[in-house]
Structure 1
């Protein structure tokens, strides 16, 4: 799917970050997502899960290779024998003698076993392991989307909280001015003590609301630090919204085709189907080729012996109490479970896309209404304040009008933030909120690198040395 609009947006924010880097520490939305991608412990955890799944492929392949084993031992046999001898001469007695016996032998042996045929059970296991790897890769993409969406949300929540604090501070300043004006007018007898008390009460409320807003800002900054890995600087918002499909139907089609959770579940269904074949093959015989050679030497002499054998054997189950049949039925039930889960995931993705679009449209409508509300509240506040100077309005009228203006501006800020978060939720619901689709300036994790190193089950070879270099690059050695 073409996603150039969002890529241009991210590129623009990155360029703005570079221009501001020399003067002011500023963070763009792209900076926040890059930081989250590079420092996420959740991503690192799931990358390790994927590497473990890669090793399952290597272990499955190893079942088709010969198994070599060796044995060696040195044996010392010792004992004592006693014999009695009777003299043949008349009147002769008996004679007893004790003879120690000691012998030393050494032996060494080498055995090999190779699977010849098992009705495809092992090769099906290899295919099963490969499908599990593909499912794990899509699971990693899902986690990547979660991390990036959390970074987007953290960025905009800091913006929301910061702008709210600015509004509250400005509101506090205005109420302080109203209080001073009320006190001055009280001194000359234009208003009563009640007007002064109302202004004082509203001032106390404004200070309380400012404290709450500052607390929310601190919490938002801590969330940003937890997600991005550093404290937020001056946040520079992107100049425009990311590009999203024009309607929910188009977005849903993309989601059903590309969303990593759906693709991962499709691979899990395939895994469950292959498990049935493995369970059925377990009921059939296996053919193995075995061979062994040995050497034994008498350490007390020059005597020795050599022996060897080679055999082709077959074995298979006859009766195991119904266990094998039960395993086949269990695998079929697990396949049905995964198919039902695929249907459930598909419905959830559809619903997620629709909900994301609803949130986006709601935010857009709120912005339009908010603009009108702020404009009207601003005119009303200025008019009531002017009328109050002429004595046609009370202090309470001014304070109420100022509160209405503050509420309108706060709602507008929230609607603007909600619009951006909803737009990125739409992108995430389609399965496109990834560093590749966003074209973020970050070194991307390539899951195929490790897989290609281990898929053939290397031991210690040139390929094994390359694997060691990959592990060092990942910081695992």
Structure 2
């Protein structure tokens, strides 16, 4: 009966422990969780989304230049006159009020407005690629912050365990000194090792605090219980193929290509600016003498052909400037291609080095563990000194610390390869969250809606949702 009761108590205790342990495990945070939070909480992404919306408005303004332009005018003027006739001076004056509406519509300008509109669209597409680059930066920073917290947490745990072992060694040395097996020197060496371990633990705790601050900035909140990533991104190891992928889809290259297209269109717009433009003009107005009841109304409509004759060389300079900017963008495209290829090569080299370091440190930990256990047993038999034990333990500590760093470096290096290839995005990582749609705002403003239109009212609701109104 007592045995059965004991078993029941044990089973109940085990069940309670599982209930307590299960929620703790459920709260463990994965790298994917951290990256989702990094994407959703990034102020840097918010900033660049606003810059993209600003670029969208450039398209709206370019489109608006092709529509009628209607202005109103109002003025009041006082005419004063003074005359002298046969020695008599006469003064007179009249106050006149004018109110009018003027309108103009561009009919033809050799495509200049269309070129500027298309250039603005290319700039929007380039800015979208900039946003993808920022997204990659945010996610890679999140990976680094996540792994650095794990790295430093393991360092702290390692240092704490090392301190406990050294304190045990110190107590053993003191006991052996009491019975005359070791000298005061052995005790002093153990005391020095404990003091150094305490210093190392303090440094590790400080590094962990800094890592947590970096995590808070990158992810947007404090770290919970972090789960060490098991699987790293599957990479083929074919560097040449990875470079080919990067050249096709890396956002920096795609951005540079769009900037070249925009620069080409700006050259054509600058050339068209040297040619005449044809406009439809209209005016209607009324003029009233405020002192009397006289008033008049007038209106006009016409076609105006206007072209430059001489502007001090400004138009020629603008065209040369556009050509120079095109050349600069072509050079930037070339440099972006070289940089992306170099980044892919460097990222793969770092990954291979990190993997090799991890394998080597695993072997170092195994060997150092065997050596430490052997030295400690030999010291108990009097064949080794306390200093030998402390040196062996320090070697083991260094090997374990190097392995911890190597494990973190492998994960960071693997995600760095994805970033170098242009594949470190929420969509590529399949993080399962709703991403920002860069076309949504553009579709609302690309037709340059006015506030009173249905499209304009919808745009107002979007702006209020963004917290910009």
TM-score (norm 1): 0.89
Cα RMSD after superposing both structures: 2.2
CA distance in 2, matches of 1:138, 1:166: 42
Q: Which residue of 2 aligns with 1:47?
A: 49
1:5 counterpart residue number: none
1:386 aligns with 2:377: yes
Q: CA deviation at 1:382?
A: 0.9
CA deviation profile, 1:372-426 (whole Å, cap 9, x unmatched) = 1111111111111111111111111111111111111111111110000000001
Give the alignment partner of residue 359 of structure 2, picking from 368, 377, 387.
368
Give 1:68-467 correspondences, 5 Å limit.
Answer: 68-73=70-75, 105-298=96-289, 303-460=294-451, 461-467=453-459
Report the CA distance between 1:74 and its aligned residue. 5.4
Contiguous gaps of at least 5 residues in structure 1:
1-18, 86-95
In 2, Cα distance between the equivalents of 1:237 and 1:329? 57
1:404-461: CA deviation from partner (whole Å, max 9, x where unpaired): 1111111111111000000000111111111111222333111111101111111121
1:236 is paired with a residue of what secondary structure? coil
Distance 2:231 2:58 in 1: 46
Q: Which moved more, 1:431-440 or 1:24-33?
A: 24-33
Asked if structure 2 preserves the Cα contact closer than 8 Å seen for 1:161 and 1:220, the reply is yes
Residue 322 (structure 1) shift? 2.9
Q: Distance in 1 between matches of 2:75 and 2:223?
A: 67
Mapped to 1, the partners of 2:76 and 2:142 lie a distance apart of: 66
Q: Which residue of 2 aligns with 1:470?
A: 462
Superposed CA offset, 1:22-60 (max 9, x none) = 766432111211111111111111111111100000111
Distance 1:328 1:82, change over 3 A: closer
Residues in 2 aligned to 1:21 and 1:146: alpha-carbon distance in whole angstroms: 33
Q: Report deviation, 1:252.
A: 1.0
Q: Tell me, yes or no, if the aligned pair for 1:20 and 1:26 is still in contact at 8 Å.
A: no
Write the distance in 2 (CA, Å) between the matches of 1:82 and 1:316.
47
2:94 & 2:319 partners in 1: Cα distance?
56
Q: Give, in angstroms, the shift of residue 249 of structure 1.
A: 1.4
Partners in 1 of 2:330 and 2:81 — Cα distance? 70
Shift of 1:104: 6.1
Q: Tell me the TM-score normalized by structure 2.
A: 0.90
Q: Distance in 1 between matches of 2:244 and 2:250?
A: 10
* Contact preservation (8 Å) 1:367, 1:415: yes
